[in-house]
């Protein structure tokens, strides 16, 4: 929900000024708490986008297109800490009794995330400023090639890009310095992540400016530009590439290859880092919003995998399938082309409207481009994945372009935005979580009633559960890469390249892969509690209104909110 407020506030930036966030202590005490919270939210929007200018650009906010952003220097980290601590203190002393219901929840969300941010400062993430899956560094290079993400229409647009690329070259030097410190403190990337980084960076290294893939943006300027401006911009861009960006990229790649890689972790898991177990538990709370221990999540995932395998085995018998289950799933085309799409869409549109209402619950979210792409590309960190909400396609040897028939309908109904654009400290109930929840609900309610639909459903759920197993296995149980690969090979239908890509993502971004499944399970548990507590008075649509009415709260606060509502309902 906080991100929604941030994006709303952007429209007011011209009124309040695009300046560094005023410290909370500067607020006038005579403001009513409701007004004070609104002002804090506006200030937070400016602060957040100043700290994440690439995310701003990718979100369609172009006030910060001229900078890359600095979160590595001591001064920048101190400024962020002071802002977090000051804002948290101001919120803590705010009089809740004078706030509206929605503002109370906004305040809780802000406090929750600030707490997480302050706790996270105990872990040395600055020693790991770059990895192949959290790649704003790659986004800025893509921005230099893709006019859809950073428009180049006016001369000022080109000036902004020049400034950003120059800023990025300085950031690369700061990143190298931080990673050298990481070597000293034994906080280093896994070797597989370094190899992926090198494969992503090498295409951008060139001997001369005209040889660079980045130069194309300056070879095709708008026809409205006068010749002198074109020549001036091309010359300046050539200088930026020749004297700043290309030398720094070359130096950084050389550093990774010759100096950093030998010290990179052979062990893939976070447990191998100093204080790694505690760090991993923090990442679980940050991204999954769960206090559960890794071993508990590991066992939950294993049990879920076994359950879905049993269901799929029964479907294999009903379909008169033969051979090993996973081999059959690899070759079984029970995806979109076996489903009566018009009938399915009509049925689901009716059910979604009946049990969730219309999409106004997510009306403040901008509509996303719904795109379909192979699962392996999503898992391998395909650069353009950040530009749209990509529906995860099922892997199939015989039907590589087929996907689950449900995800696109759910995403379209709720007008979901790209979850990758939300770079806040903790993910809310974002797109994948809600999709898995609606799919599970649909199965329980009998909306998924054809064998082909059920196979697609169980394959979705099994893969999400397997992600829980390998993520906790790698980062908490000291699994080797080979152990994780063996588990996925035995328990899923994924091909070897898809297995490798999934493991690479888990290694580089701990806890991220299991977010959707854990949150889905917690939503289903909440649903069961509500059904049992309210009995005959239970309304599925009312339940969903309570879950979604304030936007996308962190799952912990969703649980708190629903429990509060149930207590009120049973008391009355």
pLDDT at 435: 76
Chain centroid to CA 419: 5
3-state secondary structure of 190: strand
Query: Does 16 score more than 50 pLDDT?
Result: no
pLDDT at 270: 98
The first and second tokens of residue 73, run together, are: 């220097």
Across the range 475-481, mean pLDDT stands at 98
pLDDT at 269: 97
Across the range 287-300, mean pLDDT stands at 89
pLDDT at 420: 36
Contact 566, 529 (CB under 8 A): yes
Instruction: Name the percent of the chain lying above pLDDT 90.
Output: 43
Query: Does 193 score more than 90 pLDDT?
Result: yes
CA-wise closest residue to 465 among 500, 440, 428, 495:
440
Query: Does 146 score more than 70 pLDDT?
Result: no
Model confidence at 372, pLDDT cuts 50, 70, 90, reads very low
**Which one has a higher pLDDT value, 513 or 434?**
513
The first and second tokens of residue 205, run together, are: 């290294």
The mean of the pLDDT values for the chain is: 79
pLDDT at 151: 74
The first and second tokens of residue 436, run together, are: 């898995």
pTM of the model: 0.82
Model confidence at 414, pLDDT cuts 50, 70, 90, reads low
**Which one has a higher pLDDT value, 58 or 407?**
58
SS3 for 394-451 is CCCCCCCCCECCCHHHHHHHHCCCCHHHCCCCCCCCCHHHHHHHHHHHHHHHCCCCCH
Using the Cα atoms of residue 58, residue 504, residue 202 and residue 265 in order, give the sign of their dihedral.
Answer: positive
Residues 262 and 179: their CA atoms lie apart, in Å, by 13
pLDDT, tens digit, 9 for 90 and up, residues 526-560: 999 999 999 999 988 888 888 877 666 788 888 99
Between the alpha carbon of residue 62 and those of residues 21, 47, 55, the distances in Å are 18, 15, 10
Using the Cα atoms of residue 266, residue 272, residue 274 and residue 278 in order, give the sign of their dihedral.
Answer: positive
Query: Does 173 score more than 90 pLDDT?
Result: yes
pLDDT, tens digit, 9 for 90 and up, residues 219-235: 888 889 999 999 999 99
pLDDT at 475: 98
pLDDT at 129: 94
pLDDT, tens digit, 9 for 90 and up, residues 161-172: 999 999 999 999
The first and second tokens of residue 404, run together, are: 């689950």
In the block, which residue shows the tokens 């770059």? 130
Across the range 63-91, mean pLDDT stands at 90
Residues 386 and 291: their CA atoms lie apart, in Å, by 28
Residues 137 and 18: their CA atoms lie apart, in Å, by 24
**Choice among 214-218, 244-248, 285-289, 320-324 with the minimum mean pLDDT:** 214-218
Query: Does 403 score more than 50 pLDDT?
Result: no
Residue 168 forms beta bridges with which residues?
A: none
pLDDT at 278: 97
Model confidence at 408, pLDDT cuts 50, 70, 90, reads low
Return the percent helix, strand and coil in the chain, to nearest 5: 70, 0, 30
The first and second tokens of residue 344, run together, are: 């399915």
pLDDT, tens digit, 9 for 90 and up, residues 484-500: 999 999 999 888 988 99
pLDDT, tens digit, 9 for 90 and up, residues 501-519: 999 999 999 998 888 899 8
Instruction: Name the percent of the chain lying above pLDDT 70.
Output: 77
Contact 382, 318 (CB under 8 A): no
Burial 189-223 (b: 16+ CB within 10 A, else e): bbbbbbbbbeebbeebbbeebeebebbebbeebee
Contact 497, 512 (CB under 8 A): no
Residues 522 and 529: their CA atoms lie apart, in Å, by 11
pLDDT at 287: 85
**Choice among 60-69, 255-264, 345-354 with the minimum mean pLDDT:** 345-354
pLDDT at 338: 54
Between the alpha carbon of residue 380 and those of residues 17, 128, 490, 502, the distances in Å are 40, 19, 21, 7
Query: Does 112 score more than 50 pLDDT?
Result: yes
pLDDT at 113: 87
Query: Does 371 score more than 50 pLDDT?
Result: no
Q: How many CA atoms lie within 13 A of 64 on its CB side?
A: 29
Across the range 377-403, mean pLDDT stands at 29
Across the range 86-105, mean pLDDT stands at 90
Query: Does 421 score more than 90 pLDDT?
Result: no
CA-wise closest residue to 388 among 412, 354, 364:
412
pLDDT at 552: 63
DSSP calls for 105-166: HHHHHHHHHHHHHHHHTTS-GGG----SSS-HHHHHHHHTT-TTTS---SHHHHHHHHHHHH
pLDDT at 376: 32
Model confidence at 361, pLDDT cuts 50, 70, 90, reads very low
pLDDT at 12: 31
Contact 113, 426 (CB under 8 A): yes
pLDDT, tens digit, 9 for 90 and up, residues 24-51: 445 555 788 889 988 888 888 788 888 8
pLDDT at 309: 96
Indicate the angle between helix axes 341-356 and 431-445, nearest 10 degrees.
100
């Amino acid at each position: 929900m906080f991100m929604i407020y941030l994006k709303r506030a952007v429209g007011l930036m011209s009124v309040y000024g695009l300046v560094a966030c005023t410290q909370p202590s500067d607020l006038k005490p005579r403001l009513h708490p409701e007004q004070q919270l609104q002002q804090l939210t506006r200030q937070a929007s400016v602060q957040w986008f100043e700290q994440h200018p690439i995310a701003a650009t990718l979100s369609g906010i172009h006030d910060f297109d001229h900078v890359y952003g600095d979160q590595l220097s001591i001064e920048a980290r101190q400024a962020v800490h002071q802002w977090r601590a000051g804002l948290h203190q101001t919120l803590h002393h705010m009089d809740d009794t004078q706030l509206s219901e929605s503002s109370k929840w906004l305040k809780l969300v802000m406090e929750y995330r600030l707490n997480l941010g302050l706790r996270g400062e105990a872990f040395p993430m600055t020693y790991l400023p770059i990895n192949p899956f959290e790649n704003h560094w790659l986004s800025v290079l893509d921005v230099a090639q893709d006019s859809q993400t950073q428009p180049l229409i006016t001369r000022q647009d080109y000036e902004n890009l020049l400034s950003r690329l120059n800023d990025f070259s300085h950031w690369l030097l700061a990143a190298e310095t931080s990673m050298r410190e990481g070597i000293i403190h034994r906080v280093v990337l896994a070797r597989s992540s370094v190899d992926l980084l090198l494969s992503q960076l090498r295409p951008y290294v060139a001997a001369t400016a005209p040889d660079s893939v980045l130069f194309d943006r300056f070879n095709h300027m708008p026809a409205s530009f006068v010749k002198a401006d074109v020549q001036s911009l091309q010359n300046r861009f050539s200088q930026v590439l020749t004297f700043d960006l290309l030398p720094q990229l070359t130096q950084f790649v050389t550093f990774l290859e010759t100096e950093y890689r030998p010290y990179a972790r052979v062990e893939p898991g976070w447990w191998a880092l100093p204080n790694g177990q505690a760090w991993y538990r923090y990442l679980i709370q940050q991204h999954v919003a769960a206090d559960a221990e890794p071993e508990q999540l590991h066992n939950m995932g294993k049990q879920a995998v076994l359950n879905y395998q049993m269901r799929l085995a029964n479907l294999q018998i009903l379909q008169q399938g033969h051979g090993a289950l996973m081999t059959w799933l690899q070759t079984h085309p029970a995806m979109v082309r076996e489903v009566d799409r018009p009938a399915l869409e009509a049925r689901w549109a009716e059910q979604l409207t009946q049990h969730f209402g219309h999409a106004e619950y997510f009306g403040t979210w901008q509509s996303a481009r719904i795109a379909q792409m192979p699962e392996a590309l999503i898992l391998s960190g395909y650069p353009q994945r950040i530009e749209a909400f990509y529906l995860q396609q099922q892997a199939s040897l015989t039907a590589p372009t087929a996907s689950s028939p449900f995800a696109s309908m759910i995403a379209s109904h709720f007008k979901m935005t790209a979850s990758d654009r939300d770079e806040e400290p903790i993910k809310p109930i974002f797109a994948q979580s809600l999709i898995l929840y609606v799919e599970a609900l649909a199965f329980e309610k009998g909306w998924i009633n054809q064998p082909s639909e059920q196979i697609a459903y169980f394959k979705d759920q099994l893969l999400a559960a397997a992600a829980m197993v390998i993520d906790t296995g790698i980062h908490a149980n000291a699994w080797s890469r080979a152990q994780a690969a063996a588990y996925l090979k035995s328990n899923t239908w994924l091909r070897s390249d898809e297995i490798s890509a999934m493991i690479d993502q888990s290694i580089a971004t701990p806890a991220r892969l299991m977010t959707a499944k854990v949150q889905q399970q917690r939503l289903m548990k909440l649903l069961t509690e509500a059904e049992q507590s309210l009995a005959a008075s239970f309304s599925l649509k009312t339940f969903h209104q309570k879950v979604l009415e304030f936007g996308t709260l962190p799952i912990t606060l969703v649980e708190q909110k629903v429990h509060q509502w149930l207590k009120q309902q049973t008391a009355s």
